[in-house]
């Protein structure tokens, strides 16, 4: 069965410190991986996806098929990065998205 695991419910780092939010998935095929973000009192929105191979708001994520991981990284955290982050996958462009349970990132000043 497809599954997305985010082992940390809460990650707290100081402003300016590096950030890494962990994500592992289980899927036998070649899924598409995403990171979604939800800022306080805002709706869920796409942050980035692996096929785009881009950096958004300083965040990057590399798909490691050998380790079945898609960790989200940012070298220098900013206070405005505080939010709920969800790793997710889908197996085709029109299919449902399977979400992890989320990691709350808290940036301390």
Residue 24, Cβ neighbours under 10 Å: how many? 17
DSSP per-residue codes, 67-89: TTB--EEESS--GGG-EEEEEEE
CB 96 within 8 A of CB 39: no
Tell me which residues in 71-100 interact with another protein (CB under 8 A): 86, 88, 93-100
Nearer to another protein, 30 or 93 (CB): 93
Count helices and strands in the chain by DSSP H and E runs: 0, 11
Nearer to another protein, 47 or 107 (CB): 47
Contact between 44 and another protein per CB under 8 A: yes
Stretch that binds another protein, among 10-18, 42-50, 56-64, 70-78 (CB under 8 A): 42-50
- The residues binding another protein (CB under 8 A) are 4, 9, 43-46, 49, 86, 88, 93-102
């Amino acid at each position: 069965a497809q599954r997305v695991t985010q082992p940390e419910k809460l990650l707290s780092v100081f402003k300016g410190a590096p950030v890494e939010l962990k994500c592992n998935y289980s899927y036998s095929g070649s899924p598409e991986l995403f990171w979604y973000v939800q800022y306080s009192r805002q709706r869920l929105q796409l942050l980035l996806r692996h096929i785009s191979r881009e950096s958004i708001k300083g965040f990057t994520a590399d798909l490691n098929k050998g380790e079945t991981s898609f960790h989200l990284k940012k070298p220098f955290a900013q206070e405005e990065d505080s939010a709920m982050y969800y790793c997710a996958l889908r197996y085709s462009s029109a299919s449902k998205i399977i979400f992890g349970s989320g990691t709350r990132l808290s940036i301390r000043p």
